[in-house]
Structure 1
């Protein structure tokens, strides 16, 4: 491992001061025609018009790549970049659902190095867009599903920190989507894809591109439509049955919490699902239960529709002055399904008319007093289903021009907005009315003050909950609206040019100023938020976070490229950011590029970051979520909170905002080389190192460990007040089943990662069989450490010493953190045909053996899929593409630590699927 000392904070204050000192003398005016100046800006720099190729590690996905890869969504495209894999930082529609812990339905976010979407800056044409109107947990992110793929010309991915250039949230790097600027003519495209399975997971896409120029003006319009049918866990053998079925099912368990020692479950539960102490069907920690396979209800990848439009306009006024405008509109609709909502310890009339006589006799034999109610634990019979409609728009207007012969300038006003509406479609039930209906006290008008036998309606929780009238169901089900808005208003002014020179050439500069305002509002129905007095949510198993926050931010930045020698360049950059809610900070960046020969280049750099908590964190109310305490054999909580039972203890949770959060800080550096072997082979190697501090997150295990020292943190169900941190168990003791946990966002510690990026390209031309390009893109992670609280009996692998209540845990090679990610392939051109064959490789890793039922030391095998595409240029104006993914029809490897039985973050269960597309230009 490289051991290069990092510069420390004192260097920060010196960087901007050093910029003017780099100028030896002012250069005289250039005689170059300003219209001949190259005005391209490479991601990672604001300096225009110079060769910055290979100065920093930037991955580029070109238009030709997009064409040959056959991607139909932006998320598909980014799967080909090894730096975006690993961990749970990236998420797509496959990770969405109706539960609060799921990512918002229909959205997708990108993360570099697994450091999280909030640490990865997503740009469009080098400028920001508003974050998604619904947060992912407590993290704001840019929804990449709001970007139509047809509008993308290329994607530039800066894989090292860039806070000094773009802003504090570029901790892990930048993903910059460069959209088409102009077009001449009309182009129509359509594609269709589906798997070979008998289920229907069809993907359909159609788009139109139309553009023209007239005199000094140009314009372009793009329309893009996409639809995907849903894929369900039950549609694939690997995910049809979850590895840890719920012990709380549609056939509830019953107990009077007085005379009974264990729960009872009715005999109507199928024998294969009824765990009642028979051989092979052991009871749980609380007694009998009828298990539920939640995967029968869950969508692996939900149904989604997208319709987008993008338009550009430009006009040249002469003398280099140009006006430009971009307008983007996108409307996405998605439906998401999750397992049925649970209900716990609800009172039921002992003489409920639906109670089976055999169950009533068992209760009486156990000593239950019929003058009192009994209690039930179960789930509703239908899945929680929501629909989300999101409208995004973005409008950029700007001017650019020249100052003299050496300088360019550009200014723009950037306005964008994301607006979402969420509605429950099924499976969401009103708590008050349900409780009344269990006792026969629900009135026909929805009131809850009737009585059994005098107009009171019953809900029947027995017989699999199938014996209920539509009238009762309509009274109990809720739509639970939720509305969200996110807005961004930004203005920037940038200057780029040459001023001064060294003995080796002119010094290139960029200066700029930026101002922006961000507002976010997540306004769920009161039905989905915790009551401020009782702390209870009015519906079961469903909730949303109320967020209201805004922020003003201002920035000054400067950058200089100083030629120290004809083979050596020094780049200095600094950015001063001021936040109206978290103060100000200065972040520098230093990098060097040395090219001693035409075939060898060395590069390296260092930068710092300052990331204020996202608006969803600083403005959060109460987040309703869920979790599970790992109760594996030998686990640290097995003999305490787990009560000796080896089954994960699932619970509901409330997470509260924290006004005392501190900003996150980070340092990043890289060192690498680009080697050219002849004219056809290029090898790139880049070592990266990120050190990220004061992470904003929650640590549930810390609370459980603290409760072992301070048992007053454990109370009986319903006794925690809103905002009070603690743990509720069934009877208020450690070892009793966990019901609810109250947590708070905190600065949990640090995360560190380092490793090596490897890129290789080898081109062979004029072989007689055509031209070939062989390529490799791989990332090897040497280490990924993250702070966690520590206890006395902590069995985790790679856990460091406990210092101050925390230890660094090595996650590399652990669950969902593969050590190697790579894709390797060959592109072949011959005549009118272009063929690409490539393999995607995800390294194996240890399964989550902290979960029950996962053998200690079990590994999830590596996974390699082979893919191919063939593009045929039918005419000069038309081409067709045939693509196939997962040629071997390989199932993803079994991951017992996941509820779906495979890792949705790093693998997929779609199987072999085919795609055909046709494009015609008029």
Structure 2
């Protein structure tokens, strides 16, 4: 949250308030947005650089996952690790990462392209030391920011006013020193020619280690919980050389193991002991005992990140300033993953010492290198021109590029030649006697992928006062902008059974033209002294966006890396939409203020949703196999052949959203320093894109008559009987709806100049009352809030900061409410099964506490300008709740950080 003493809380003077930062005289910011704060008409949440520094977070995603309750993300990229997509995972309100718009300095970033979408950009390459503040609006905001802001917007504003030289070194590690992370940064600025020329730059570099499953007991706890409640599930074997009897070759059985010498083990489970020599008596001695500390599966892998930034600004007279800004960041992640496989060994196998068929879990370490590299480059040039009547204009051109590549390997099973060798090796200690060439024994699917996106933006921004109102100037900010975004044409490769296959991804293009106007009108201000109108402020914005998207498909198989590439006809989607935001803030007295805002938004269709597929022809045999029947013809089978249209739909409309927020801000004068805000947010979405099965259209022909075509009547049809169906269009359509209701709370209480120094108590929480989705028209809505995959019903963090002279310290606690074990989309049967595995219907609430202590060395002496900070995250070493291995094989709730208790030591020096 904002530091109440920091610049983030201080508005500019009346003449410039309500105008984009970049247009404000004397500002050094390149932020294209208006400066927002927690007391804005809309319920913004703002974190300044002081809060970011004190948190001990390693990157933006890490910080927002723990400190922003409206972020529904359950796992950070570091917890997931490669070879997953490099696309961002920030998810405001649980609507999905594609509905959270992420900006840097009010500008869009190049998307991370997947096969069928322009995904959320990757921001983990941005150094925490570069960030001035983060502004978050967890409500629909397309009337200001454009498409993709249906769930909200996150704007990361970078520091642009370095003076002198700052050096910072930081080291973070778990308390058992298993997962160290080091960081070093240099930030500085120089001025020339009497301050008319400024050069600023920054450099940072971080390096990280990997945490593996055997460093923690999560596997053990999850498997043991599964074992107690349902030992039949084969995930109980995960984590070591464990064995169980089996009947079907997939699940464990309850039949007790019996050695071929007739010895009964008294249990269906055993494990291979260390230095096992082949004596069956050793297996008998370990009956019922399993091993869980042998897995080398990575469970936390932060990327190694290098960043650069150079900014040059030059003033020409009093009215013209030009600037050029260059930034580059590179993130590299590598996971050395094991081969993990549960092998079926028949009782007849020569190496099997048991009479029964058994399952044996293999964990062969250091088998694959899974890699993921992302490189982002940003170039921004422009001019700021001071116009008459206190107006300003900014003319800018941005060129941004994101490049990425990844390598992944997946074990599909033993090779035909390798299965016998694995069966022979299953009953020996593979740590003492490792396999000579384990990769040769498995069928492995390998893929190598490259992707890239280029984004160009040309914009003209204007801002200034329009006329004087009693409370100050009516201000306007206007924008004309054009964006060109395109994915790279790439060829990805995959290898299976020694055969390499090539898949071509043609270039995808999305061009956007936008116009935007925002007005802010301070009708009355405290200085006016109007009874019952301590403050009255209005705001309104309108934005028009015109999208043109062209997509020619993805993963098209080609003969080689160089083609030839078949001709493709691009599917084109054109849409035009106008969105608005209006708001009011009314304070009858200085102790209380009411605020409300309304807005709408849109989400353009994904690339894959607009790509139509060639028609398919269903034969009579396939129609019979699928049991496709015609309700209008007595529920008889549809005669073949049947033409079926599938895939995407180039005529899709954007998904729409309407948002309403209303709240109250209390600053009671009888409790100086106290601020309380409560805000209700409601978002309703419509025209959500669905892919529905053919049976749905057959059962609902009246509602989708244009999608079902019929031929002439057949001989013998009764009068009035419709002809047979000849064609069904099952392509994507706008149909579904969802709604969200949430209440947000913020509390701040400042005690100044006490006998022990200054104290700042704070808290921020959100209660998601409802996030309802309707999967199919006519079906009841399902409230995802509080389910395994949905947003938590309650999330919060609370804390206190203390400062006195050169010393400061603080405490923060993150609180996560409990949630259902199963996902909202699962059937009642599967939910009941998972609850039986867990032994409970819910995973309990959890909380983690952090502390920090900071000291600024006084002026004079060698250490002048030096700050040293020590932080301990998860000070009580709280372990996250256990999750049964049948539900999540990692065995823990991912809201917890697998590093457990950890510390951060940082030293910063200013010259």
Q: TM-score if structure 1 supplies the norm length? A: 0.70
* Residue in structure 2 matched with residue 649 of structure 1 by the alignment: none
Closer, same or farther in 2 for the Cα pair 1:291/1:108, shift >3 Å? farther
Q: 1:780, 1:606 → 2: CA distance?
A: 20
Match of 1:915 among 904, 907, 910: 904
In the TM superposition, what is the alpha-carbon distance from 1:889 to its structure 2 partner? 0.9
Matched, 1:212 2:190: yes
Matched residue SS, 2:58: coil
Q: 1:544, 1:479 → 2: CA distance?
A: 13
Matched residue SS, 1:807: coil
Match of 1:684 among 666, 677, 681: 677
Closer, same or farther in 2 for the Cα pair 1:409/1:297, shift >3 Å? same
Matched, 1:814 2:787: yes
Q: 2:25, 2:146 → 1: CA distance?
A: 27
Matched, 1:894 2:886: no
Q: 1:55, 1:690 → 2: CA distance?
A: 17
* Residue in structure 1 matched with residue 594 of structure 2 by the alignment: 602
Whether the 8 Å CA contact 2:65–2:71 is kept in 1: the answer is yes
Q: 1:389, 1:104 → 2: CA distance?
A: 10
Q: 1:302, 1:543 → 2: CA distance?
A: 29
Whether the 8 Å CA contact 1:133–1:418 is kept in 2: the answer is no
* Residue in structure 1 matched with residue 515 of structure 2 by the alignment: 556
Q: How many residues align?
A: 735
Whether the 8 Å CA contact 2:294–2:363 is kept in 1: the answer is no
Whether the 8 Å CA contact 1:159–1:174 is kept in 2: the answer is yes
Q: 1:659, 1:248 → 2: CA distance?
A: 46
Q: 1:403, 1:246 → 2: CA distance?
A: 69
Match of 2:53 among 64, 67, 89: 67
Q: 2:210, 2:521 → 1: CA distance?
A: 54
Task: Give ranges in structure 2 of 5+ residues lacking alignment.
Answer: 1-14, 16-21, 227-232, 270-288, 526-534, 549-572, 615-645, 700-729, 823-830, 860-864
* Residue in structure 2 matched with residue 419 of structure 1 by the alignment: 403
Whether the 8 Å CA contact 1:233–1:299 is kept in 2: the answer is yes
In the TM superposition, what is the alpha-carbon distance from 1:706 to its structure 2 partner? 8.1
Match of 2:538 among 570, 579, 582: 570
Task: Give ranges in structure 1 of 5+ residues lacking alignment.
Answer: 1-26, 28-33, 255-259, 283-289, 367-375, 440-457, 529-536, 623-655, 710-742, 790-802
Matched, 1:835 2:828: no
TM alignment of 1:123-522, pairs within 5 A: 123-133=103-113, 140-197=119-176, 200-215=178-193, 216-240=196-220, 242=223, 243=226, 245-246=234-235, 262-263=248-249, 281=268, 296-336=295-335, 340=339, 356-357=349-350, 381=364, 385-424=369-408, 428=410, 437=417, 462-464=424-426, 470=437, 473=440, 480-500=447-467, 506-521=473-488
* Residue in structure 1 matched with residue 738 of structure 2 by the alignment: 751
Match of 1:658 among 648, 651, 662: 648
Closer, same or farther in 2 for the Cα pair 1:204/1:51, shift >3 Å? closer
Deviations 1:850-890 (A, max 9, x none): 55343575221111222110000023410100100111111
Q: TM-score if structure 2 supplies the norm length? A: 0.71
* Residue in structure 2 matched with residue 454 of structure 1 by the alignment: none
Q: 1:125, 1:273 → 2: CA distance?
A: 69
Matched residue SS, 2:79: helix
Q: 1:768, 1:200 → 2: CA distance?
A: 42
TM alignment of 1:22-101, pairs within 5 A: 53-86=39-72, 88=74, 91-98=76-83
In the TM superposition, what is the alpha-carbon distance from 1:821 to its structure 2 partner? 1.1
In the TM superposition, what is the alpha-carbon distance from 1:564 to its structure 2 partner? 4.8
Matched residue SS, 1:104: coil
Q: 2:250, 2:201 → 1: CA distance?
A: 65
**Which moves more between the two structures, 588-597 or 297-306?**
297-306
Whether the 8 Å CA contact 2:65–2:76 is kept in 1: the answer is no
Deviations 1:170-221 (A, max 9, x none): 1122111111112121111111121123x61111111111211112111111
Whether the 8 Å CA contact 1:252–1:462 is kept in 2: the answer is no
TM alignment of 1:794-809, pairs within 5 A: 804=778, 806-809=779-782
* Residue in structure 2 matched with residue 870 of structure 1 by the alignment: 853
Q: 1:293, 1:746 → 2: CA distance?
A: 48
Matched residue SS, 2:91: coil
Q: 2:168, 2:889 → 1: CA distance?
A: 38
Matched residue SS, 2:108: coil
Deviations 1:57-111 (A, max 9, x none): 12111122123222332223223533443365x642212343xxxx426x64322
Whether the 8 Å CA contact 1:608–1:665 is kept in 2: the answer is yes
Matched residue SS, 2:781: strand
Matched residue SS, 1:687: strand
Whether the 8 Å CA contact 1:140–1:616 is kept in 2: the answer is no
Q: 2:583, 2:472 → 1: CA distance?
A: 18
Closer, same or farther in 2 for the Cα pair 1:95/1:787, shift >3 Å? farther
Matched residue SS, 2:447: coil
Matched residue SS, 2:754: coil
* Residue in structure 2 matched with residue 798 of structure 1 by the alignment: none
Whether the 8 Å CA contact 1:582–1:663 is kept in 2: the answer is no
Matched residue SS, 2:110: coil
* Residue in structure 1 matched with residue 769 of structure 2 by the alignment: 782
Q: 1:865, 1:252 → 2: CA distance?
A: 34
Deviations 1:380-409 (A, max 9, x none): 956654111221111111111222123111
Whether the 8 Å CA contact 1:133–1:522 is kept in 2: the answer is no
Q: 1:245, 1:361 → 2: CA distance?
A: 18
* Residue in structure 2 matched with residue 764 of structure 1 by the alignment: 751
Q: 1:69, 1:196 → 2: CA distance?
A: 17
In the TM superposition, what is the alpha-carbon distance from 1:125 to its structure 2 partner? 0.8
Q: 1:273, 1:76 → 2: CA distance?
A: 51
In the TM superposition, what is the alpha-carbon distance from 1:507 to its structure 2 partner? 2.9
* Residue in structure 2 matched with residue 846 of structure 1 by the alignment: 820
TM alignment of 1:632-781, pairs within 5 A: 658-659=648-649, 662-678=653-669, 679-696=672-689, 749-781=736-768
Q: 2:739, 2:415 → 1: CA distance?
A: 49
Q: 2:732, 2:267 → 1: CA distance?
A: 42
Q: 1:187, 1:85 → 2: CA distance?
A: 32
Q: 2:416, 2:848 → 1: CA distance?
A: 54
Match of 1:579 among 535, 542, 547: 547
Whether the 8 Å CA contact 1:46–1:510 is kept in 2: the answer is no
Q: 1:747, 1:300 → 2: CA distance?
A: 39
Matched residue SS, 1:480: strand
Q: 1:237, 1:597 → 2: CA distance?
A: 56
Aligned-residue CA RMSD in angstroms? 4.7
Deviations 1:645-673 (A, max 9, x none): xxxxxxxxxxx963455532111110112
Closer, same or farther in 2 for the Cα pair 1:208/1:47, shift >3 Å? closer
Matched residue SS, 1:154: strand
Q: 1:845, 1:514 → 2: CA distance?
A: 43
In the TM superposition, what is the alpha-carbon distance from 1:526 to its structure 2 partner? 3.4
Matched residue SS, 2:898: coil
